[in-house]
Structure 1
Amino acid sequence: MDATYVLSLLLFTFVATITPGPNNIMLTASGANFGFRRTVPHLLGIAFGFSFMAIVVALGLGVVFEMWPMLYTLLKIVGSAYLLFLAWKIYRAGRVQLQRNEDLAKDAKPLSFWQAAAFQWVNPKAWTMVLTALAAFSLPPPLHIWSSAAVIVAYFVVSFPACSFWALLGQEVVKLLRSDRARLWFNGTLASLTVASVALIFI
């Protein structure tokens, strides 16, 4: 593995993790509603969950999808249902702010470390990114193990700063929204984008 390989891998993982998708839409909403600091467990959960999933795929889980394509279809359905639930939570977080309801506010909280990590397993974009990266950057023996490890480490290292951009964006954008109505509109837009990402899964 030379410098060109490493740079190509880092560039691929950076582009894959910083481009819009379910994770980054949710992070923007979390940054807007809860601030960057409270979103950090969500960020770490993504990095851990994604890297752990890459380990499992590198050990052979990807072959299972090739043998039984219906499992991947089932994964899309489950992931889509969960994304719709998260879209509702994003919109509801905006309603909580508008209504100033203390009881509802207590229920509104960012995703935890383990919730974010578990979400990667039903996130179709995450599966596509992992399968594509391992297919493109895994080298034949005797470098197979080391190259697979490089992919896993690259995602773990790159995903946190790349995804942090979206959480910080949400935190800063919401400061520009001077009214509760504008913030509700912002949350509604993010919720709509989350729903739209569900449609893109099946295209």
Structure 2
Amino acid sequence: MSALAMYAFVMSITPGPNNLMLTTSGLAFGLTRTWPHILGIPCGVAIQLAAVGAGLGAIFALEPRIQIGLKLVGTLYLLWLAFKLWRAAAPSDAPMAKPIGFLQAAAFQLVNPKAWLIAVTAVAAFVGPGEGYVVRIVLVGAVFTLVGLPCMAVWAAFGAGLRQWLSSPGKLLVVNRTMAALPAITAGQFWL
């Protein structure tokens, strides 16, 4: 159980599409409005774990074009996000903008290559075949949720903290451009 918790911690706290999006949301909307996004991620991950546990991982191995399609969609989404961040104005200048919601965050996991890698690896490493298989899948999902939520909240809080620190348009522009570069770089890493 401790190895699973450590794996969940490392995978949840390290940079990736979810954490970059949470930092951006914290910056743009504050921590309170980012909570639906934070809570949607473990829901999507749980769906992935169940799908991989039900055999989707084997389908990926047999038909790698599915994974390529997921990478392509994930890449396009991250590049769209990077474009939006590059052009972002000050948070107060965008009253019509809305943070990513619970269902959007859950659905994003379906095209998030890092999340698929985590799900396939977690099932392979921590869910052995045999009696109690479904219970072990649920346990892995619960551990990822319990460990992951505080990790994700840290990234969103970091963004919210930046929001308070960024009072000048020049500083905000630098942060927006940096935050725009990160998802674009992450999208490129999907293909390495």
Separation in structure 2 between the aligned mates of residue 34 and residue 76 of structure 1, nearest angstrom: 28
Corresponding residue to 2:167 among 155, 178, 191:
178
Separation in structure 1 between the aligned mates of residue 85 and residue 52 of structure 2, nearest angstrom: 30
Aligned amino acid, residue 172 of structure 1: G
Does residue 159 (structure 1) correspond to residue 148 (structure 2)? The answer is yes
> Which SS does the other structure have where 1:107 is aligned?
coil
How is 1:70-109 mapped onto 2 (pairs within 5 angstroms)?
70-93=65-88, 95=89, 97=90, 101=93, 105-109=94-98
- Gaps spanning 5+ residues in structure 1: where? 1-5
Separation in structure 2 between the aligned mates of residue 33 and residue 119 of structure 1, nearest angstrom: 19
Corresponding residue to 2:27 among 23, 27, 32:
32
1:143 Cα deviation from its structure 2 partner: 3.9
> Which SS does the other structure have where 1:106 is aligned?
coil
1:202 Cα deviation from its structure 2 partner: 0.6
How is 1:45-194 mapped onto 2 (pairs within 5 angstroms)?
45-93=40-88, 95=89, 97=90, 101=93, 105-194=94-183
**Which entry has the higher C-alpha Rg, 1 or 2?**
1
> 2:11 maps to what in 1?
16
1:108 Cα deviation from its structure 2 partner: 1.6
Separation in structure 2 between the aligned mates of residue 47 and residue 145 of structure 1, nearest angstrom: 17
Separation in structure 1 between the aligned mates of residue 83 and residue 74 of structure 2, nearest angstrom: 14
Separation in structure 2 between the aligned mates of residue 192 and residue 57 of structure 1, nearest angstrom: 31
The total of aligned residue pairs comes to 192
Shifted more, 147-156 versus 187-196: the winner is 147-156
- CA offset digits 1:96-134 (Å, max 9, x no partner): x18x65xxx233221011111110100111001111111
1:66 Cα deviation from its structure 2 partner: 1.1
- Gaps spanning 5+ residues in structure 2: where? none
- What percent of counterpart residues are identical? 41
1:51 Cα deviation from its structure 2 partner: 1.1
1:177 Cα deviation from its structure 2 partner: 2.5
